Homo-oligomer: A and B are copies of this chain.
Amino acid sequence: MSKVEKNKKQKENSLYDAAYDLFTTKGINDTAISEIVKKAGVAKGTFYLYFKDKYDILDKIILNKSSQVLSEAIIETKNKNFTEFEKELLYFINYIIEFFKKDKLMLKLIYKNLSWGIFKKAYRDYEEIQEIYLMFERGYENTSLPKEDIEKILFIIMELTGSICYSSIILNEPANIDEMKPILFDTIKKII
């Protein structure tokens, strides 16, 4: 990577970091581009060299951060070499929950903006994400369930986990996450 390339990457990263910090602490609406560039230590025009507008950098942040969480979770899960699908899945889900318990701000930013569409995009750029689906496929390999239905079940479990995390970690509703966990795990067991 040339010096120029390095410098470009550095500037882009400064912008990512600054925007992420401001989005999580002040909220998206209350963050102005002028604040992002100030915090990143670059000129205003530089922002527009890399991003179309505030929502462009937001989308890219959401994609990066959520992919990171999922990657980390699936890698850690695979390292455990589970033999049983149920245990493996619950470990994976639990890893995500514990992650978000420690990083509420990220959860807040990601959740309301995360969608299956972004998840699919992550497929391409982060190959670990594919491992999540493969885990499910292995879990259902002795059943006659068609591929699409496996995907739907995966989707339902992910959505459910996301919803519960958001409500209980951020809003403490209808109870805090530790109280919700047993019933969530129970539900997931029933689903699979």
Residues of A within 8 A of B (CB): 29, 112, 115-117, 120, 148-149, 151-153, 155-156, 159-160, 162-164, 167, 171, 173-175, 179-180, 183-184, 187, 190-191
Task: Report yes or no: A115 in contact with B190, Cβ–Cβ below 8 A.
Answer: no
**Interface of A: prevailing SS:** helix
* Contacts known (A163-B162, A191-B190); A156 close to B173, Cβ less than 8 A: no
Pair A116/B162 contact, Cβ less than 8 Å: no
Chain B residues near A175 (CB-CB < 8 A): 148, 152
Please give, as numbers and ranges, the residues of chain B lying within 8 Å of A173 by CB-CB distance. 115-117, 120, 155
Name A115's contact: one of B155, B164, B171 (CB within 8 Å): B171
Task: Kindly state the separation between the CA atoms of A163 and B148 in the bound complex, as whole angstroms.
Answer: 18
CA distance A8 to B32 in the complex (A): 24
Residues of B within 8 A of A187 (CB): 153, 156, 191
